Amino acid sequence: MRILNNIITAGLLCVSIFTYGQHNTMTTQTVKISGNCGMCKKTIEKAGNSADSKVDWNEDNQTANVSFDASKTSLDVVLKNIALAGYDNEKYLAPATTYAQLHGCCQYERTLSAPPANPENTPESKEESTGSSSVAKAGNFQVIYDQYFQLKDALVASDRKTVATGAAKLASLLTTLKSTDLTAAEQQAWKTQAIAITQYTKTLQEAENLAKQRVAFVSLSEEVYKLAKSSKPTLLVYQQKCPMFNDGKGATWLSLNKDIKNPYYGAQMLTCGSTIQTIQ
């Protein structure tokens, strides 16, 4: 009996030491996160909370206490997830289309601007020092990226009608781009990709079924990838690949989330695929 008690005591001691070690790695920082109401609070905290992080957002002063296990995650990861849920913060801004989909009472005044991670290495500073830049900011192309991700999500959900509607929106956005508003690098990128992106967008609208939409999305994804490589999106983007689509030849797509959600098979094989590249 004494031996059993000693074993139990030793086990509890190990658990206590392990728990203390876990708590000891937790870091808490206060950050600015925009929002309006209790519904915002629920969404912000759900987006930021995980096994390794906890977010407590205050509606009155528009700040949040973010606690995270620095050995497993980072403040950047937490704030990026919150931005992807539609909420601007001091490091990342929400995609325009995600913000637009928030409930009316949640559409806060967008007063924040996210600083670059390293101002000395931004494309603007390189352009000032060298007179040219091989990589442009997302700038005028961000609306294209945002709508592309909406199309991808609709294919994941196997929603043919929403795909067609989204493709029509993308086609409309393409007509609003003016070369005079683009940087030199953007103009070159758009000159190379414009015709193909417009063509595949039209195919997505006119496709008779989901299968044909998915085939067209393969080509659209390749063109948007080329655009993103020359004019990077404002948020981290993952290029992912399904090895089975297209008779085993494989097909790629772009995503804002590292978790695999396959647009080529939807629920049939939702997690089939892997991340092959990160665009940042």
**Domain of residue 273, CATH code:** 1.20.120
Q: Are residues 271 and 143 in the same domain?
A: yes
Question: Which residues does residue 252 pair with via DSSP β-bridges, in sequence order?
Answer: 241
Expressed as residue numbers, the domain containing 168 is: 139-279
Task: Tokens for 175, please give them.
Answer: 């007509």
Strands 53-58 and 274-279: unpaired
User: Encoding tokens for residue 261?
Assistant: 């959600």
Examine the domain organization and report whether 255 and 164 are in the same domain. yes
3 state DSSP class of 44 = helix
Whether 126 shows a pLDDT value over 90: the answer reads: no
Residues 70 and 159 grouped into a single domain: no
On whether residue 166 sits in a domain, the answer given is yes
Q: How confident is the model at residue 115 (pLDDT cuts 50, 70, 90)?
A: low
Residues 143 and 87 reside in one and the same domain: no
Mean predicted confidence (pLDDT) in 37-52: 93
Q: Are residues 181 and 54 part of one domain?
A: no
What gap in Å lies between CA 23 and CA 29, rounded to an integer? Answer: 15
For residue 144, give the nearest of 183, 203, 190, 111 by alpha carbon.
Answer: 190
Same domain, 78 and 209: no
Question: 116: Cβ–Cβ under 8 A, 6 or more apart, which residues?
Answer: 122
CA distance 210 to 155: 8
DSSP 8-state secondary structure symbol assigned to residue 135 = S
For residue 115, is it within any domain?
Answer: no
- Is 20 part of a structural domain of the chain? no
Across the chain, what does the average pLDDT equal? 81
Flag whether the pTM goes above 0.85.
Answer: no
Say whether both 80 and 153 belong to one domain: no
183 shares its domain with 273: yes
> What tens digit of pLDDT does each residue of 80-112 get?
889 888 899 988 888 877 888 888 889 998 888
Please state, in angstroms and rounded to a whole number, the distance separating the CA atoms of residues 87 and 43: 9
Residue with tokens 């007063």: 111
Q: Are residues 249 and 159 in the same domain?
A: yes
pLDDT band at 224 (very low <50, low <70, confident <90, very high): very high
The residue out of 57, 83, 104 marking a domain boundary is: 104
Q: Phi-psi bin for 25: left (phi > 0), alpha (psi -120 to 50), beta?
A: alpha
Residue 109 in any domain: the answer is no
User: Predicted confidence band at 225 (pLDDT cuts at 50, 70, 90)?
Assistant: very high
Domains identified in the chain, total number: 2
Same-domain pairing of 143 and 208: yes
Same domain, yes or no: 205 and 270: yes
Asked if residue 11 belongs to a domain, the reply is: no
For helices 38-48 and 75-84, the axis angle rounded to 10 degrees is 130
Distance from CA of residue 154 to its chain's centroid? 15
Using the predicted structure, report yes or no on whether residue 121 has a pLDDT greater than 70.
no
**What CATH number has the domain bearing residue 58?**
3.30.70.100
Residues 144 and 274 in one domain: yes
What per-residue confidence (pLDDT) applies to 62? 92
Q: How far apart are CA 205 and CA 209, in angstroms?
A: 10
- Residues with Cβ within 8 Å of 140's Cβ and at least 6 positions away in sequence, in order, are 177, 181, 182, 186
Q: Is 5 inside any structural domain? A: no
**Domain-located, residue 144:** yes
How do residues 146-188 score in pLDDT, each as one tens digit?
899 999 999 999 999 999 999 999 999 888 877 777 777 778 8
Residue 122 lies in a domain: no
| Section 57-61 average pLDDT | 93
Q: How many residues does the chain have?
A: 280
Domain boundary among 44, 79, 104: 104
Of 57, 78, 104, the domain-final residue: 104
Q: What is the mean pLDDT of residues 199-221?
A: 95
